[in-house]
Structure formats: C-alpha cells, structure tokens
Structure 1
Amino acid sequence: MLPAGSRLTHRDEFASVLRRGRRSGRPRLVVHLECRVEPTAPRAGLVVSKAVGGSVVRHRVSRRLRHLLAPRLNTLPAGARLVVRALPAASSASSAELAEDLDAGLGSALRKASGARRG
C-alpha cells in the first residue's frame, strides 16, 4: 500500500505529469515521470481505465501495481511525480510481468528525464 503522503490525489497533479513528464511505453503499461527540483518525497498515482476490464479486474490490477510500486518509490529522485497507466493487456498479466514492465518503464523514463535536465 502506498502511504497517503506518497499518492497523487488531485486531477491537476495527474494532468501536469501526463503533460510535462517523460513517457515510457511498455506492452502492459505506460510510465509517465516528471522530475521536479523540490525537497519533497516522490509521489505516485495510478490510472486504470475501464478499457482494462470490469471493476473486479481493474481493482486487481490496481492492487498489484500499488504493491509493486511501493518499494520502488524510494529509488526515485526527490520531488519526482510518477503516473503509471495500465493498458488492457495488464488485465491478463502476472505480477512478475507487471514488475518487469514497471522496472523497464521506470528505468527508461529516468534516463529520459536525466537527459532532459542536462540538455
């Protein structure tokens, strides 16, 4: 479970990350990362739409992603905001497959974000 202080909760925060953040797509999910220069803890949010499935399926995918995301938040730079958007293929994916996509997406988004700050 993500602690309350580590969650994105407002629509404006999600919109900012989706607009300004670096995107990295994978077969089962898309990672959006916005690195800000703030001394705050990293925060994250999930987007699991009806395209993924019915409410039971969406909640199952959300629970798996939250469980996978919690330990990875510590690896993000201070002030980072992260949005993980599940794609329809996430509904039939195992936790191991979701973890693989999440790790690859985070790594790629972090590389893109660090390159953008330097250049």
Structure 2
Amino acid sequence: MLPAPSRLTGSDNFRLVTRKGRRAGRPRLVVHAITAEEVARFRAGAAGADRVDPALAESDAVPRIGFVVSKAVGNSVVRHRVARRLRHVLRDRLGTVRPGCTLVVRALPPAASAASADLGSDIDAALRRLRLSRDDSDTGGAK
C-alpha cells in the first residue's frame, strides 16, 4: 500500500496528468508524469484549474502516484493483481522519484502476464526516460 500522501486521487487530477503531462511508453505500461512547475503553470491560466488539487503544485511535496488498469488487461482478479504488483513496485521506488512529481501508471494488456521484476524494469526505464529520478535531478537531467 502506498502512504496516503503519495496516493493520487480525483478524476480531475488524473485527467491533468494524462492530458498535460509527458509520457514514456514501455511494453507493459505507460507512465504519464507532470512536475509541480507544470501544474503551477496550468493552474495559473487554464479554465477548470480550480478543480485540480493545489498540493500538486508544491515542488517539495512527496511524489503522488495513481494507477489505471482497464478491462483490456483482464478480468477483475487479473486487474487487481496487476494493480497490487504496480503499487508494490512503486512503493519501493518512492524515494527515487523527485519531489513534486505526479505520476499516473497505465497498465497495458501484457502487464497481466508479466512478473513483478519485469514491471519494475519497465518503471525504471520510464522514469529514466522522463528524467524523474533523484539521480537525474542531481546532474541537472544531463546524461
């Protein structure tokens, strides 16, 4: 289980991250991400921005993570299993994600038959591609 402050809730917050954020696709999942600076810019000038959680715009806030596992992944038993695996994988990586980032992890159908290690490697690769790990922020995002 993710700690309560790290859980992304509310359809407006999910919509903001998936539509305005950046994304990195992997074979078993897609990671959508938005930083606190991007949220602050959105809240400053967009209509409907008042429905977005203002805590997402705090650059020193803990990372927030939400999950989307659709019926395309499988029946309810399979979907819940995938969601539990993703929560477990990301709980272990919370300390490596830069503060102020908000993520939405969308599972794809191949995630149903994937091992937790495979999901973890996809998450790591997506975070590296989006330059959201703390290691990337220390070097200014340069490789």
TM-score under structure 1 normalisation? 0.89
Q: Which amino acid aligns with 2:5?
A: G
Structure 1 stretch displaced more, 73-82 or 96-105: 73-82
Structure 1 runs, 4 residues or longer, greater than 3 Å off: none
CA contact (8 A) 1:9 1:45 kept: yes
The secondary structure found in structure 1 opposite 2:67 is strand
Aligned residue number for residue 30 of structure 1: 30
Q: Which amino acid aligns with 1:4?
A: A
In structure 2, C-alpha distance between the alignment counterparts of 1:52 and 1:15, rounded to whole Å: 20
In structure 2, C-alpha distance between the alignment counterparts of 1:110 and 1:11, rounded to whole Å: 25
Greater RCO, 1 or 2 (C-alpha within 8 Å, sep 6+): 1
Aligned residue number for residue 90 of structure 2: 69
In structure 2, C-alpha distance between the alignment counterparts of 1:80 and 1:48, rounded to whole Å: 21
Q: Is 1:40 the equivalent of 2:37?
A: no
Aligned residue number for residue 5 of structure 1: 5
In structure 1, C-alpha distance between the alignment counterparts of 2:130 and 2:94, rounded to whole Å: 14
Aligned residue number for residue 52 of structure 2: none
Cα offsets for 1:87-107 (capped at 9, x unmatched): 000001111111111110111
1:71 to partner: Cα distance: 2.0
In structure 2, C-alpha distance between the alignment counterparts of 1:100 and 1:109, rounded to whole Å: 14
Query: Paired residue for 1:93, among 98, 105, 114?
Result: 114
Q: Which amino acid aligns with 1:2?
A: L
CA contact (8 A) 1:33 1:110 kept: no
CA contact (8 A) 1:32 1:109 kept: no
* Paired positions, count: 113
The secondary structure found in structure 1 opposite 2:73 is coil
Q: Which amino acid aligns with 2:4?
A: A
Cα offsets for 1:41-95 (capped at 9, x unmatched): 1100000000000000000000000000012122222211000000000001111
Q: Which amino acid aligns with 1:62?
A: A
Q: Runs of 5+ in structure 1 lacking a partner?
A: none
CA contact (8 A) 1:49 1:86 kept: yes
Q: Runs of 5+ in structure 2 lacking a partner?
A: 38-57
Superposed CA RMSD in Å reads 1.5
